[in-house]
Amino acid sequence: MIVSNFAVIEGCDGSGTTTQLKQLKKNFSLQNISKNTGFFVTGEPTRGPLGLMIRKILMGKISVQKETLARLFAADRGEHLYAPGGIIERCGRNELVVSDRYTPSSLVYQGLDCGRELPETLNAAFPHPELLIYLDLDTGIVMERIAKRKEKREIYEYMEFQAKVREAYLELLPIYEQAGVRVICLDGSGTPEELAIEIWSKVMEMPIMEKVKKNR
């Protein structure tokens, strides 16, 4: 199942997914598009109780089994999708929802961490987004960006693991395409401004945005 009006931005750590989501929100505000359609920016892990626990685990503040983390991500995603005011409800009332990470992150990160079978089983019933934008970035650049951060590194932010993350994403994208998802792979090495222009153009091609453009 594909959820209309739902877009996801994915990439390795340091690829700029969060930065680009903020820029996308800014562009919507500048273009006054929010007057014509609802627009909701979100992300995973969420800011709910489960998501906050996951963030502590990723920062190394809480230690759990790898399989437990995979299950927590799936539980948090279920709330993200189906709770009141969640993704399914918003998309169903013709809002555009864009998320910083979704099922591909679990299939990649937890797939590498505890094996593919459990993450695939946990996420099998979750619907696909209409649009998946992947920000591709050389692992060396990824690590340079991570090194510049002031925050403590998360448990996955190391060279060997990030190299595997990139390989896993590139193997996964065709599977989403075969499932009917519109997959866009963008070079994440450019400036944030250049990348924002590319992402904006791809989002504006979504059917919900075509309706908005006609009404402007």
Of all residues in the chain, the percent with pLDDT exceeding 70 is 94
- Quote the pLDDT of residue 41: 94
In this prediction, residues 60-83 reach a mean pLDDT of: 97
State the virtual CA torsion across 147, 152, 47, 202 in degrees, nearest 10: 0
Of the two residues 151 and 34, the one the predictor is more confident about is 151
Domain interval for residue 81 = 2-215
Which of the four pLDDT bands, split at 50, 70 and 90, describes residue 207?
A: very high
Where does the pLDDT of residue 148 fall: very low under 50, low under 70, confident under 90, or very high at 90 and above?
Answer: confident
The CATH number for 17's domain is 3.40.50.300
Residue 33's pLDDT is 62
Contact 133, 199 (CB under 8 A): yes
Q: What is the pLDDT of residues 176-196, one digit of tens each?
A: 999 999 999 999 998 999 999
The mean pLDDT value for 89-111 works out to 97
How many structural domains does the chain have? 1
Q: What is the mean pLDDT of the chain?
A: 92
What predicted TM-score, i.e. pTM, was given to this entire model?
0.93
**∠ CA 196-197-202, rounded to 5°:** 95
Read off the pLDDT of each residue in 79-99 and give the average, rounded to a whole number. 97
Q: What's residue 151's pLDDT?
A: 78
d(CA 216, CA 191): 30
The predicted structure's pLDDT at residue 28: 84
